[in-house]
Structure 1
Amino acid sequence: MAKNKELLNSGKAPEPVGLYPHARRVGNLLFLSGVGPRERGTKNIPGVELDAQGNILNYDIEAQCHSVFRNVRYILEDAGADWDDLVDVTVFLTNMQDDFQTYNRIYAEYFKDNQPCRTTVEVNKLPTPIAIELKCIATIITP
C-alpha cells in the first residue's frame, strides 16, 4: 500500500457521478478520475441537446472538448498542479469517425507546449450523455 496518498476534489469541476474523487495523489503523481464536459452544480453539458427521455439529439464536439479541457485544468489547479504537469492522457470518444479530427485539432491547441503521452479510444457509451471523457496523470510536487 502506497504511503502519502490523498483524495482531492475540486470546487470548480463538475461533481463526480459516483463514489470517487476528482483526483488522488500518490507520492509525486496525481491520478485524475475520468473527467467529462459537464458543468458544476448543474446537469448541463455544453453543446448537447437532449430529448425528453435524456437521449442525445445532437451535440457539438468542439464545445465539449473545450469544456472537458477546462474541467481538467480546474482539477489540476485545485490539486496544486498545472497543465504543464500532465504526463499521460487517455481520451475516450463515443464517435471516433466523426469527432476525431475536430478533437485532435483542439487537443493540439491546448497541448502545443506540453505534449504528454496520449491514447485515444472509441467507446460505445459514457455514463452521462457526453461524447468525450479524459483520464489523466500528472506529476505534482509533494509538500
Structure 2
Amino acid sequence: MSESRTLWEEGREPGPQVVALGLAVALTVVVVDVALTGRVSLLFDIAFVALSVGLALAVRPGDFFTVGVLPPLVMVAVFVLLGATRPDVVGHPEDGLVQAVVSGLSRHSVALVLGYALCLGCLAVRQRVLAQPDAAAPLRPRTAPGPLRPRG
C-alpha cells in the first residue's frame, strides 16, 4: 500500500513565506506584463488566478487563514504600488492614487473574484481531506509502542 500524499496534503510552506512568494510573483508578473504590453493586461489576470491557486496548495494547514485573505490583499498592494508610481498602467495618466487603485480593481475584478473563489475552494477541499482520519495518518510520525511501565 502506497503512503504517498495527495495534492491536497502536500502544502508545507509557512504562511509568511507564502505571503512573500505571492507578492514577489505578482510584482514580477506585473513587471513582465507592463514591459510586454505597456499596461496591466490579461496576462496578469491569468497569472493572478494561477498564483492564487498555487498559494492555496503550497501553504501548510496551520496557516490557511493567512492565505485565505491573501489574494485581495496582493492585488490591492500591487495596484497601490502601481497607482503611486505608474497610474497610467492601471488607469488614466492623470488619475490620483485612489482613482488608479479603484480603476485597477474594477478592470481586473473578474480575475480577483475567480482567483479568490478558487483559492478558498482549494483551502476548503484541503481542510476536508486533512480532517479525514485516513488522510492524517501518513502525516503523523509512526512510533512503535513501548513496554508499559507502571507509574510509581
Shorter-chain TM-score bucket reads 0.3 to 0.5
Output the TM-score relative to the length of structure 2.
0.34
Return the structure number with greater strand share: 1
Q: Name which one, 1 or 2, has greater alpha-carbon Rg.
A: 2
More helix by share: 2
- TM-score (norm: length of structure 1): 0.36
